[in-house]
Amino acid sequence: MTEPEDPSRDRLKHHFAQRVIHQARQILEVWQRLQQSEWTAADLEELSESNQRLLRFAERFEQEEHAHLARGIAQSLLEVEANRGRLSSALITDLNRLMQRLSRTGLRHGDRLENTSLPPLRKPIYVVLQDHDRAERLAKQLEFFGLSAQSLEKPHAFHTALAERLPAAVVMDVDFGGMGEGLKLAAKMQEGLEQKLPLLFFSHHETDTPTRLAAVRAGGEEFLTGTLEASSLLEKIEILTRVAQYDPYKVLIIDDSRAQATHTERLLNNAGIVTRTLLDPIQTMSELAEFQPDLIILDMYMPGCTGTELAKVIRHNDRYVSVPIIYLSAEDDLDKQLDAMSEGGDDFLTKPIKPRHLITTVRNRAARARNLKARMVRDSLTGLYNHTHILQLLEDCSFRARRENKPLSFVMLDIDHFKKVNDGHGHPMGDRVIKSLALFLKQRLRKTDYIGRYGGEEFAVVMPDTDLKSAFGVLDEIRRRFAEIHYPAQPVDLFCTFSAGVVELEDGDDALTLASQADNALYRAKKAGRNQVHTLREDIMQAKRHSPMDVVN
């Protein structure tokens, strides 16, 4: 008979797991810093040493997921060393993929850790308010969004909790424990900490400047007044606690000279930029669709096609109208350079070029292009993808799913009786509900899923590598949990639900067909009484109807 595991040992494992996560964060900070300049041998050594510490901690404290990632990073760094310290696009991509996985471990409800001996470690949010009942309700609401939250009633309980486990963030009433005592408690909490804890202050009443100044000095990064609402609070917590992720810039090099293309590629790779080289300009459009670069480096003179002609072809496609094009050529005639830039180019660099000049130009242009694209493809209220871009992503994912023979599901969902929310509680409340659902979806879905605001109160989700049954189960669980969220209102709190339609990609389907089918499934859910998830397949619906967990409000 196997003896039950010692609870104290389990607590120790959780405690030591925090040291592993702290070391993982240090590696991510080094990795991000390396993207700002060309890599050196000293940089690689620093990253390698940080990674070795992570591996030692992860193996000692039985954190198999972190150990697995650390071994992968070590292997990639060995390959860089074997390549005489030079990076390649493949190595940058591999390292970044590992770093992205490292930054995600345990941070989001919908992401599952692989091969781990512990459940996902989520640091709690400590909620310490003078009104403990309000703190309890708020903590419960944050739990609905997939966070771990704990309300603490007295200063002593707060000190005890801090001694046991440092939180991801603290929501602190300025008057917790007495008039102005919360400010003193928070200031004391931050003393001696290597990294200050994210701290949000709250006051039920509007406060004066001295109080706000004291909050700033105590380390407060936000100051909230009035009514605390879970979705708005979550948005601020996400911003304060987010582990920033670096996504390397991608550059497509189009040059008929293999030697010149290889030279440019090597310079950019050593600065952490992913490249792809195209020697035949006729293949440009298919390569653009596949690679989706942030920037294009284009030779002026190529057989069968000039650079300016190719730039015009690229600009004819609305999708690539904002992708920067940099000409890299030996052409030194200023008039010809200006003519080329007027034909769709954004900059002109003359060969030979200093490495730092090329790298800085590429980084600056790519960064501005990304910022512009983010504004173009995102919905201003929710930060989700807008209608046009979510359909574009659906088309891209459909193409990839067919090519790789993998499943793909698409979801459309709509907030029930939304007009009544606006009419009865005003448009600000309607906006709050929309933002709440957007945040809820981001928390509950995987990072590999794409979420968009389709229009008004309607949302869309693209779910790669997900079959219909799995997608249905995920959305139905989200539907049940979302219905439990309440929004403070008069005379009674407001509750909202949504209906959804889920479909799976089949042979012959395109993006518009999938969208139409999902819309039909959504219509069926609405017609059947709302607060339901429907598909166009009866077998899935039969299984749902026999599920004892299903609750329809």
471 Cβ neighbours under 8 A, 6+ residues apart: 409, 411, 463, 502, 504
Rounded Cα–Cα distance for residues 238 and 146 (Å) = 12
User: Helix (H, G, I), strand (E, B), or coil: what is residue 463?
Assistant: strand
Q: Report, as residue numbers or ranges, the catalytic residues.
A: 457
Angle (CA) 312 313 318, round 5°: 95
Rounded Cα–Cα distance for residues 140 and 125 (Å) = 11
Q: Are strands 295-298 and 458-464 parallel, antiparallel or unpaired?
A: unpaired
Query: Quick one: which of 192, 185, 193 has its CA closest to 201?
Result: 185
356 Cβ neighbours under 8 A, 6+ residues apart: 38
4 Cβ neighbours under 8 A, 6+ residues apart: none
First to last CA, the chain: 46
172 Cβ neighbours under 8 A, 6+ residues apart: 128, 182, 185, 186, 199, 200, 201, 202, 220
DSSP letter for 385, please.
Answer: B
Rounded Cα–Cα distance for residues 282 and 34 (Å) = 35
With both helix axes pointing from N to C terminus, report the angle between 155-164 and 181-190 in degrees, rounded to the nearest 10: 20
Q: Are strands 125-128 and 169-173 parallel, antiparallel or unpaired?
A: parallel
Question: What is the b/e burial string over 361-382, where b = at least 16 CB atoms within 10 angstroms of the residue's CB?
Answer: bbbebbeebeeeeeeebbbeeb
- Tokens 């991510």, residue? 28
